[in-house]
Structure 1
Amino acid sequence: MYRKKNSEWLKHLDFELLDIICMEIAFMLAYVLRHVGHEYYFPRMYMRLCIVLGVIDIAVLFFTNNYKGIIQRNKWQEIIATAKHITIVQVLLLIYEYMTQEAYLLSRTVFLVSWGCAIVLCFFSRCAWKKVIRRRVMAEKNQSSMLLITTEDRIVELTAKLRHKDYRDYKISAIYIERELADAKDNIIETDIPIIYGKNSLLEYVRQNVVDDVFIDVCNSKEQLTELSDIFLQMGIVVHIGMGYLPDNLPNAFIEKMGEADAITASINTATGWQLSIKRITDIIGAIVGLMITAIAFIFVAPAIKIASPGPVFFKQKRVGKNGRVFYIYKFRSMYMDAEERKKDLMKKNEMQGLMFKMENDPRIIGSEKGPGKGIGNFIRETSIDELPQFWNILKGDMSLIGTRPPTVNEYEQYDLHHKIRLSMKPGLTGMWQVSGRSDITDFEEVVRLDTEYIENWSIGMDIRILFKTIQVVLCKKGSK
């Protein structure tokens, strides 16, 4: 899933709100300074001007590109841009006063001081907030990993274009050259980015490594381009294609700029920044509520686990998240301490066809020796209490409330190329196949099909439906074994 860039004024809504707040503060500060030693009374006219000031600022945004490239601007460029923006707003405010025949009531001191204060406050607040944004953008966990497909003679030019901006939300993780490595020994390319040679090496790299985006600069033919874009899109990877050959199989395609390079971008599905922000806000709220429930459950579950099976209350395991990123998942422990070792001997009894393990009356579950479904571990799993600590993963951002279940590292290493589409979205606490009778699903390919259906048709409304259906499933104790 690809996050579409918002329009310029929506993209920098945080800076817009910051400017309005600073201008309002400057205006009120100027009024206070003008009336030092007098009784502070904010006349109705000045209160109205505070409102008009905000409206004018919003109106100016529709006719100027004041925030375009704001993250890339240095301090000198920023002071000029800030002064220009504030001046336009203040002049329009003066014109408004003139048109309403109230200009004579407006104190020149208030007007001029607020003008200067607004420039200073807006400039310093913009610079401070930019530092926060830049740190966040450049953090490795927030950068997408891009694979570049090009030729030897284009590497230097294209990487320079893609790296043109100092602060980018992507990094070039590898470069693919079509010819085989044996043919390239006479022409070693000097670059700080790993070079991949040959189609087999390319597919193995994509299968085993984190790849969020692929930028296809050149191909020998339209057929080759179509083949490659098909492979990547079926894995849920976002495809950017240079303005050369264009295949006919690009879903959700649009033109955008990657650094200084123009490209056609296509993805299995796209979402606006607003949609993903709503999803993240929902995750945070849900995680906070969930952690409160987890704390209450801990009071009762922890002693029961400790009595039945000495050892840690929580189970920690490496799982694979979005596009191959590894993280630790947390659960209440419902199995004995040697569960992973015993799993190797139980694989022949696996009821799941494919890369998942499921077994009726699993002897690794705490208390299973008492009989089918009678152990404390069975109760924890049947009621889905074991999943509660994953709200911590959701709060951290490793997972989402709704998504696809994250595979273990061992399962992921056995994935075929088309299985990786499950990882094109952030993994979830629950998802499509969990509420589609997961106890009755014994074929991993059916899990992949349901997860693909979810990713291709994702919407906020779909997440809400799955969330409510999950509550119903949990309350009815359906689907957990």
Structure 2
Amino acid sequence: MITTSSIPLGNLKSDLRSAKGAIKKRGLAIKILQLIALILLDATSLILAWKLAAFYETSLESHLKAQASFELIILIVQLGIIASKGLYDVRVPSCNYARLITAISLSNFFLLLIAFFYEPNFYVSRSTFIMFWLLSVVFICTTRFIFYVATRNLYKLGVIRYPVFLITDVEEQDNNVKLIEKENCYKLIGVAEASSLDRHNREVILEFLYNQDVLEVFVSWNAIKKRLYLYWYFLSAGITLQILPIEREILPSKSKLSMIGDVPCLTIPAPLIAGGDFWVKRCFDIVCTIILLLLLSPVCLIIALLIKLDSPGPVFFKQNRIGLHCKQFKIWKFRTMNINAEKLLETLEAKNEIKDGILFKLKDDPRITRIGKLLRLYSLDELPQLFNVLLGEMSLVGPRPHTIRDVERFQANHFIRQEVLPGITGLWQVSGRSNIDNFEDGVKLDIIYIENWSLWLDLKILLKTVKVVLQKTGAY
């Protein structure tokens, strides 16, 4: 059981989806240089192969046309198909020549179709295409071989090595270290136990990884299987996360399969601009909030008047809630209860309809006023929280902030909710609202939201919120 005395309130950082100082993907410069070199080698090989094949063309006019109009098409088609086959992954210090030959052959087939259907007056003999295909295969495979031999030698000499870190259980450490070293392109900075990812330890290890300019972090499946939400920390620091070996049935969003040696690995690549999506979300929140406040101001004035006429007390209700990183803030709502509602809470605890007792919900709560029932039915009492959004204490979409009373009953695994900005609405709210009578089920929905967050998901939740509110689903 965790009490408010153990809730950390100092040294607060931003939402885990925002950038922690990184403005670009780690190691991006060296990867871009390698990628440019590889593309230039392929392009040079293709142009040289075409010029040699066209040189032996019997028609001089055809030869000139080929030189003038077909080279750009060749580059676009050939390089595009090679890229689509994943053959520009410069991190891999070898080449799949069978896949490369397949890509070249496929692109030559498309070039033949282009020449036949879209340039009917442009004659290129079959022998020219056959010679171009053979020369392309020879030249590209040769330059690729030279490139990867040179790259591997640079790896061995330590000129090019990607700094990585390993987090794994003690019993898996030796095998995982050997697996990483076998790739011969990584510089292993250090190894930490799985406990370093625990809630009370992870800030230390993440700060260390950031300060050491670690490019990728390898985490064994057993070390991270209960902490999958942590990939947001790595994304926002511009660090690529490699999970190995993987459970194939678990595939978090933004992930892809890759191979480390002969072992399948779940890779969650770092974005080019770390935290960029989150700051777009923040700007979206501010713009939408200002627009909503302007449009709904007449509605808010009417609600304030009705509250005043309905029962004695203030128009607004302010309450301490636990928000980002367990920091307390005052949430604003239109008052829907009698002024002595909080004092009456203790007498109503026995009637709590939430099974595990962490939250308090009562369908026919006697503390709610007549106008309060109407406001809650359509969630109009939440409108003043738009000011909390403007102040940066909340977002339009996120896990709902809970009271101190509720957070005092949290278990350790519940605190992931406090790592992102709380929201006016969220996945929990559009998936049943008050009909969800088990706190653990609600937390699962919050974790699903955190693990799979995207701007598109936020937009879908906002649109679904309107539908749920109008249908009065699970409202009381």
Please classify the TM superposition score into its range, dividing by the shorter chain length: 0.3 to 0.5
TM-score, normalising length from structure 2? 0.48
